[in-house]
Amino acid sequence: MEEIRSLKVINQFGMHARAASQIVGLAGKYKAKLFFKKDTRWVDGSSILSILSLACPKGSEIEARIVGKDVKGFMDELEGLFKGKFGETAVGHYRPKKRIMKGFPVSPGIIIGKAHNLNRSKTQIFHTKLINRKEVDTEIDRFRQAVDMAKEQIQKFKSNMPEQVKGYALVLDTHSMILHDSLLFDPTLKRIKNEKINAGWALEKTVNKIHQLFKKVEDDYIGRRMDDVDSVCERVLRNLAGVQADSLAEIKEEVIIVAHSLSPCDIVEINVSYVIGILTDVGSQTSHMAIMSEALEIPVVVGLESATDMILDGDLLIVDGNTGEVIINPDPDTIVSYEDRKKRYNRYKSAIDRVRHLPAETVDGYKIKIKANIELLAEAKAAIESGAEGIGLYRTEYLYMIRRDFPDEKALFDDYSQIARMVAPNPVTIRTLDIASGKMESDMEAAREANPALGLRSIRFCLNERKVFKTQLRAILRASVYGNFRLMFPMISGLGQFLEAKRILKSVMRSLDRDGIKYDRDMPIGILIEIPSATSIADILAKHADFFSIGTNDLIQYALAIDRDNEHVAHLYEPFHPAVLRMIHQVVDAGNKEGIEVSLCGEMAGDPLSILILLSLELKEFSMNIGSIPLIKKMIRMLPLGELRDGFTGILQLSTSKKVEDFVLRKAKSLLPDIFDEDVFRYRSHGTT
Ligand code: PEP
Ligand code: MG
């Protein structure tokens, strides 16, 4: 059976996302097929995107055709929707106007889909004064119970973790630890007792105090652990209020989650068969949630600030996890262009994924080594799966950040021996602690330095705090027998410092010998070159080191006097500054003359434009963030390195970053047109002067 009718769009906002979703919802109820025709074009009436692609503003006339069972009833209902203006006047407030938001991209990919706004407004906190002892005791019990409950909930999540995020169990352990942290648990109990206030209020005050404390901490990484504290406290507050959170496990249709924040526990509940993307108001690229969600391999954008206010349940969204852009209620043209972008991105992704396990060998036979930078043991698996030939930089700060005191040798040994085993026979370059001095003091405020980047940090801190340093070295040495370790000291500014660090290492070796404990006696000892003074004397240092790794993140900061965490000078942070390129060249040259390996592990290694310069400067080994590996490998496998080097002679003579950038981009487009003509990935801009 068939029914055809002309319908007129009379609602003010036209046939946009909300109207289209009502039509699709209606079509789902009938065993009949719906088509729309505008001008000469027919589209499928059961697809939101097809309906939107018709672009029907108010006043449009379209033809509806229904084929199948009960076509009359279906058509009547459909006509009712049009005549009833899709409920627009009754609702009166939907905003099909296109809006664009920008956040921090965490996990790449492009998706188009429906929003599911996780309505998790923060638990309301009541402020009640307690009158007598009995009430105080009751509140203390309630608080203890809420904390115990939170602990059980976290344990439950841990035992049900999906395969993709299993490696992150440690994050949930951190949450359990925060619950009983001495900054949180005892002070809250004390507040209930001494200030005679209810548990929620007391907890709120405690968390505010922790916020104040962390605000003073210059170290970005520690500062961002506040996300974890907040998420743990919200759980306790919900338990106190007896409120259940809107659970992600219950989602059974394909949606993009929009939430103020998500905790690691939320991430482990997510079913990727239904959840196709995640957007959050808060969070940074290094929050736990961000790191974990990357493992789910769905597009994720965090730090959108007001996504939960701007986006309504059911809004149509385009999420670009490569750029951090989110488009709310896109117009049909935008949808069509993103559909195309999505196809190109997926094609590009599968093309680079296909080669990620092949060697990084240029078309003219040069072998390049590509390794991964990681911060957590849990990332090692993903690194190897992305095609890394080892870990070129294991930043070992994490175990020190998640607790107030210092981790003992056993905790460190457990972590290091696991990573050694996981990555063997490939090597792991393990960097000793690169931490600021604030960690040592019980009151972080007191230990604050005016210029932490120039302060008592990293190797300087370790040489000062011998006990902490030796404990780490002992754990590294003990773990070295389980794999293939290389040890690297960060922030070395002069030879004396390096020799001192080596002397301490030797003394730890002797103590292991005395205890009859085995370790790898031939473990290579290298320097992370990241201070200009070290580049100047690279020839001297090379005589004493087994390898160099160039840390451009800090090298640029110190060479150009640009605080890498200060957004006011971010535009002056220029990786292509001629001085930076010359420094890199000097280090490579010194290493080559002495016959030691030189690699580069700063962010530059993972940038498609930078890598061309670095390859031209004769670097053969790189370590980068996991996400960059497949593309960089693909580029290298397409590259005629000899031709690149010939074409790049003279790059060190260019006078400004801008000239370098223009030069490299021109060369890149002619050497690798397939890569650089596609605009599906973005390379960083490298300065304007
Ligand atoms: C660097 O400084 O380039 C580096 C690799 O270390 P981090 O980013 O950890 O300072
Ligand atoms: Mg550094």
Single-letter amino acid, residue 205: K
Q: Which of 160-174, 283-297, 498-512 has the highest mean pLDDT?
A: 498-512
Distances (CA, A) of 631 to 470, 647, 648: 39, 22, 21
Single-letter amino acid, residue 550: I
Return the residue whose CA atom lies nearest to atom 3 of ligand 1: 551
From the CA of 554, give the closest atom in ligand 1. Answer: 2
412: left (phi over 0), alpha (psi -120 to 50) or beta: alpha
From the CA of 551, give the closest atom in ligand 1. Answer: 3
**Which of 395, 556, 610, 621, when mutated, tests ligand 1's pocket best, judged by the most ligand atoms within 8 Å of its CB?**
395
Return the residue whose CA atom lies nearest to atom 9 of ligand 1: 395
Q: How many CA atoms lie within 13 A of 256 on its CB side?
A: 32
pLDDT digits (tens, 9 = 90+) for 344-371: 888 888 888 888 889 999 999 999 999 9
Least confident of 294-298, 312-316, 378-382, 402-406: 402-406
Looking at 56, 265, 462, 601, which residue is catalytic? Answer: 601
pLDDT digits (tens, 9 = 90+) for 274-317: 899 999 988 776 666 776 777 777 899 988 988 988 898 889 99
From the CA of 603, give the closest atom in ligand 1. Answer: 3
Question: Which of the pair, 352 or 72, is modelled with greater confidence?
Answer: 72
Asked if the model's pLDDT at residue 579 lies above 50, the reply is yes
Grade residue 443 by pLDDT with cuts at 50, 70 and 90.
very low
**Which of 379, 396, 434, when mutated, tests ligand 1's pocket best, judged by the most ligand atoms within 8 Å of its CB?**
434
Asked if the model's pLDDT at residue 555 lies above 60, the reply is yes
Q: What number is the average pLDDT over the span 527-548?
A: 98
Helices (H), 577-672: 578-594, 608-616, 629-638, 641-648, 657-671
Q: How many angstroms is it from 440 CA to the middle of ligand 2?
A: 20
Q: How many angstroms is it from 602 CA to the middle of ligand 1?
A: 6
Return the residue whose CA atom lies nearest to atom 7 of ligand 1: 553
Residues touching ligand 1 (Cβ under 6 Å) are 393, 395, 434, 530, 551-554, 601-602
Closest of 453, 432, 420 to residue 562, by C-alpha: 453
Asked if the model's pLDDT at residue 163 lies above 90, the reply is no
pLDDT mean across residues, the chain: 86
Asked if the model's pLDDT at residue 609 lies above 80, the reply is yes
Q: Which of 274-283, 442-451, 649-658, 678-687 has the highest mean pLDDT?
A: 649-658
Over pLDDT 90: what percentage of the chain? 50
pLDDT at position 521: 97
Are the C-beta atoms of residues 264 and 171 closer than 8 Å to each other?
yes
Grade residue 539 by pLDDT with cuts at 50, 70 and 90.
very high
Asked if the model's pLDDT at residue 445 lies above 50, the reply is no
pLDDT digits (tens, 9 = 90+) for 540-551: 999 999 999 999
SS3 (DSSP) at 307: helix
Distance between CA atoms of 579 and 323, rounded to whole angstroms? 29
Give the single-character DSSP code of 452: G
Which residue is associated with the tokens 């520690």? 222
pLDDT at position 640: 96
Tokens found for residue 459: 């190797």
Distance between CA atoms of 685 and 682, rounded to whole angstroms? 9
Give the single-character DSSP code of 15: S
Asked if the model's pLDDT at residue 104 lies above 90, the reply is no
Distance between CA atoms of 599 and 391, rounded to whole angstroms? 12
Q: What number is the average pLDDT over the span 448-452?
A: 73
Q: How many angstroms is it from 3 CA to the middle of ligand 2?
A: 69
From the CA of 550, give the closest atom in ligand 1. Answer: 3
Ligand nearest, relative to CA of residue 221: 1
Asked if the model's pLDDT at residue 570 lies above 80, the reply is no
Question: Which of the pair, 556 or 24, is modelled with greater confidence?
Answer: 556
Return the residue whose CA atom lies nearest to atom 8 of ligand 1: 553
Asked if the model's pLDDT at residue 463 lies above 60, the reply is yes
pLDDT digits (tens, 9 = 90+) for 105-136: 888 889 999 999 886 667 888 899 998 999 99
Q: In b/e form, how buried is each residue of 306-328, taking b as 16+ CB within 10 angstroms? A: ebbebbbebbbbbbbbbebbbbb
Asked if the model's pLDDT at residue 552 lies above 90, the reply is yes
Distance between CA atoms of 491 and 555, rounded to whole angstroms? 9
Are the C-beta atoms of residues 199 and 142 closer than 8 Å to each other?
yes
pLDDT at position 687: 38
**Which of 554, 560, 600, 601, when mutated, tests ligand 1's pocket best, judged by the most ligand atoms within 8 Å of its CB?**
554
Q: What number is the average pLDDT over the span 651-677?
A: 92
Grade residue 94 by pLDDT with cuts at 50, 70 and 90.
very low
pLDDT digits (tens, 9 = 90+) for 81-92: 988 888 765 444
Active site residue 601: yes
Over pLDDT 70: what percentage of the chain? 89
Distance between CA atoms of 341 and 234, rounded to whole angstroms? 39
Q: How many angstroms is it from 519 CA to the middle of ligand 2?
A: 27
Q: Which of 190-199, 625-634, 679-688 has the highest mean pLDDT?
A: 190-199
pLDDT at position 93: 43
Looking at 175, 288, 585, 686, which residue is catalytic? Answer: 288
Tokens found for residue 42: 């027919």
Single-letter amino acid, residue 122: K
Q: How many angstroms is it from 530 CA to the middle of ligand 1?
A: 8
Tokens found for residue 55: 């672009």
Return the residue whose CA atom lies nearest to atom 1 of ligand 1: 551
Ligand nearest, relative to CA of residue 553: 1
Ligand nearest, relative to CA of residue 552: 1
Question: Which of the pair, 49 or 399, is modelled with greater confidence?
Answer: 399
Tokens found for residue 601: 């592990």
Asked if the model's pLDDT at residue 336 lies above 50, the reply is yes
Closest of 494, 358, 474, 346 to residue 416, by C-alpha: 474
Q: How many angstroms is it from 653 CA to the middle of ligand 1?
A: 27
Q: How many angstroms is it from 266 CA to the middle of ligand 1?
A: 31
Q: How many angstroms is it from 553 CA to the middle of ligand 2?
A: 6
Handedness of CA 72, 78, 79, 84 (dihedral sign): positive
Tell me how many degrees the CA angle 571-572-578 measures, rounded to the nearest 5. Answer: 130
pLDDT at position 426: 96
What residues contact residue 619 under an 8 Å CB cut-off, 6+ apart? 550, 584, 588, 598, 599, 600
Q: What number is the average pLDDT over the span 373-395?
A: 89
Return the residue whose CA atom lies nearest to atom 6 of ligand 1: 551
Active site residue 233: no
Question: Which of the pair, 401 or 679, is modelled with greater confidence?
Answer: 401
**Which of 458, 488, 553, 601, when mutated, tests ligand 1's pocket best, judged by the most ligand atoms within 8 Å of its CB?**
553
Asked if the model's pLDDT at residue 232 lies above 90, the reply is no
pTM check: above 0.75: no
Q: What number is the average pLDDT over the span 410-415?
A: 95
Q: What number is the average pLDDT over the span 8-35?
A: 81
From the CA of 557, give the closest atom in ligand 1. Answer: 2
